[in-house]
Structure formats: structure tokens, C-alpha cells
């Protein structure tokens, strides 16, 4: 039986978190977490770094990733768990996501300069573009540093999000197939949340889940730091209806988000829903 909290959704500075992988492991231990996964956006380097330093006495660890996806029906964040980190299939998805991400960073910087006159020193731009997976939070922090916005949140909402991309995303079926081919389990992250402030509930969410199931989605993130009890219960009910796996994640980003490590809304490791027991058994992390 697992001991301690479970948190299967967290980010390091390989993507848009602020903890190094090594710092994250230490913070996981301090938070009393017994099972965790590193799920950086479109990257697996954080997993490789954790595997180098983790010991048998540390919390249990599952490899993971979070892929930013979009198609004609909307945006999705697809979590992958337990895949082979050396699999060409997962590396293909990672590389595709990375190329899209870097293209969007360059386009956003060009947009901010042409539309608002926001410019940055060459050394700052070089440092930004040399990062593993820079994104909107990194650009927002740079804007705050140079006085273009009072906060990262305002920088993103009032400026960075004014540019839109129709096709610069990994398709959900591509991410799902890559995770499956690498021996992993694809999970829909925070199913109630779509693009921006979009809230997806009721029949709309069920239709969304059924459509992704056609591509091979195998589970739902039923416990999440941003969920109300009503949203959580709706997702858990849907997972039970379709016999899907259930996971729990905080979406911790260090100082880049006001989310506490281990805050999933699930509490301790008692009274698991059926879908979570099924997931943990699949990951060989649960014994009756």
C-alpha cells in the first residue's frame, strides 16, 4: 500500500517550473509525498535528471510528460505516464512539441516588438532561446524585468495572449499514439479546463472524453488543485462510467504558480477510487 500523498503533475525548470529536478525531489520529500511524477511540457529531460539522483529510500517515481495539444475541436493537455524514456516514439512527440514551442516563442517576441515596441537586449533573447522549453511565463517575467508590465499575469493576459496560433500544436492523436507506442498510459489533464478561461462540463466534457477515447486516451486527471468538489465528482463519475484510469496532480510550478506541491484535493492515500487503484496497479505501485 502506498504511504504519503500522491502528486503526479508537477513541473521543473526544464519547462515552466522554477525548481531544478534535484530541488523538486527534495521538495517532494519535504511535502510528505510518497509517489510523484515529473510532467514537464513537451520534454523528458527532467525525468532523466531525477532518475540519476533518486535512491531506493526516496519517494516512488513514475516517468511522465505533459503535451500541449490542439485540433479543430479545441485545446488539450495530454499527460503520459510510465513510458520508456528511451523510446523513439516518445522522443518523436517531444521533438515535435519542442519545435512548435520554439516557433511560437519567436513569433511572440516578434509580435511584442512590432505591435507594442517591446524589445529586449540580445543577451536576454539568447538566454531565453537557449532554454529547454521557454514559454509565456518566461516572456512575461522578462517583460516585468524591463518594465513593460507590472506582473507576469498581466503581461500574458494583456499582451502575449493577443497573438493566436491556429495550427502550431501537436495533435492529440499524435501525442496519445506516441505515449502508447512507448508503453505508457495517456491521461487527459484537468478535463474541465479548455482554452483560457473555458470551462467544459456536462455533455460537452463527456463528448470530449469520448472523442479522445477513440484516439486511445485511457484515463482522466480526477484530482487537481484547481477543481471544486463538484467538478471533481463529475470527472470521477465519468471515469467510472467508461472504466478509465484516474490520476491526481497539483500542477506545481514552483514560484511560477500559486500552487502548493501535493495539493490535489485528494488528501492521503485512503479510499482510492476504483480508477486510481487500477492505475496504481498498472504502474506496479499498489498491493491489496
What are the grid coordinates assigned to 109, written together?
A: 517576441
Residue 2: its pLDDT value, please? 58
Is the domain of 201 the same as that of 274?
Answer: yes
Residue 166: its pLDDT value, please? 75
Which residue ranges of the chain lie beneath pLDDT 50?
none
Which of 48, 39, 51, 30 has the alpha carbon at shortest distance from 8?
A: 39
- Which residue pairs from 142-145 have beta carbons closer than 8 angstroms and sit at least 24 positions apart in sequence? 143/112, 143/118
Contact present, 232 and 263 (Cβ < 8 Å): no
Task: Write the CATH number for 192.
Answer: 3.20.20.140
Residue 208: its pLDDT value, please? 95
Give the integer Cα–Cα distance in Å for 244 and 242.
6
Residue 268: its pLDDT value, please? 58
Is the domain of 87 the same as that of 113?
Answer: no
Mean pLDDT of all residues belonging to the chain: 93
Is the domain of 186 the same as that of 234?
Answer: yes
Task: State which residues form the domain around 69.
Answer: 5-95+172-282
What are the grid coordinates assigned to 73, written together?
A: 475541436
The pair phi, psi for residue 6, each rounded to 5°, is -115, 130
Give the integer Cα–Cα distance in Å for 81 and 34.
16
Give the integer Cα–Cα distance in Å for 111 and 107.
6
Is the domain of 41 the same as that of 109?
Answer: no
Domain count, the chain: 2
pTM of the model: 0.90
Is the domain of 59 the same as that of 122?
Answer: no
Residue 183: its pLDDT value, please? 98
Residue 101: its pLDDT value, please? 87
Residue 67: its pLDDT value, please? 95
Residue 267: its pLDDT value, please? 66
Residue 270: its pLDDT value, please? 62
Burial (Cβ within 10 Å: 0-12, 13-18, ≥19) of residue 221: buried
Is the domain of 10 the same as that of 52?
Answer: yes
Amino acid at each position: 500500500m502506498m504511504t504519503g500523498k500522491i502528486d503526479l503533475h508537477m513541473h521543473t525548470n526544464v519547462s515552466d517550473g522554477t525548481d531544478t529536478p534535484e530541488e523538486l525531489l527534495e521538495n517532494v520529500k519535504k511535502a510528505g509525498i510518497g509517489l510523484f511524477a515529473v510532467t514537464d511540457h513537451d520534454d523528458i529531460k527532467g525525468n532523466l535528471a531525477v532518475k540519476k539522483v533518486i535512491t531506493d529510500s526516496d519517494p516512488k517515481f513514475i516517468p511522465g510528460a505533459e503535451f500541449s495539444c490542439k485540433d479543430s475541436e479545441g485545446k488539450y493537455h495530454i499527460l503520459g505516464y510510465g513510458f520508456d524514456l528511451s523510446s523513439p516514439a516518445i522522443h518523436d512527440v517531444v521533438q515535435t512539441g519542442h519545435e512548435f514551442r520554439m516557433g511560437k516563442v519567436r513569433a511572440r517576441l516578434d509580435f511584442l516588438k512590432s505591435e507594442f515596441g517591446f524589445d529586449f537586449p540580445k543577451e536576454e533573447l539568447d538566454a531565453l532561446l537557449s532554454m529547454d522549453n521557454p514559454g509565456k511565463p518566461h516572456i512575461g517575467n522578462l517583460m516585468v524585468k524591463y518594465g513593460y508590465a507590472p506582473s507576469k499575469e498581466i503581461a500574458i493576459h494583456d499582451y502575449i495572449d493577443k497573438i493566436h496560433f491556429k495550427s502550431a500544436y501537436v495533435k492529440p492523436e499524435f501525442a496519445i499514439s506516441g505515449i502508447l507506442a512507448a508503453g505508457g498510459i495517456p491521461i487527459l489533464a484537468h478535463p474541465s479546463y479548455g482554452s483560457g478561461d473555458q470551462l467544459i462540463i456536462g455533455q460537452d466534457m463527456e463528448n470530449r472524453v469520448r472523442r479522445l477515447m477513440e484516439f486511445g486516451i485511457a484515463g482522466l486527471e480526477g484530482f487537481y488543485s484547481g477543481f471544486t468538489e463538484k467538478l471533481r465528482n463529475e470527472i470521477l463519475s465519468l471515469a467510472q462510467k467508461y472504466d478509465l484510469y484516474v490520476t491526481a496532480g497539483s500542477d506545481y510550478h514552483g514560484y511560477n504558480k500559486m500552487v502548493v506541491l501535493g495539493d490535489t484535493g485528494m488528501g492521503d492515500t485512503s479510499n482510492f477510487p476504483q480508477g486510481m487503484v487500477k492505475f496504481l496497479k498498472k504502474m506496479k505501485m499498489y498491493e491489496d
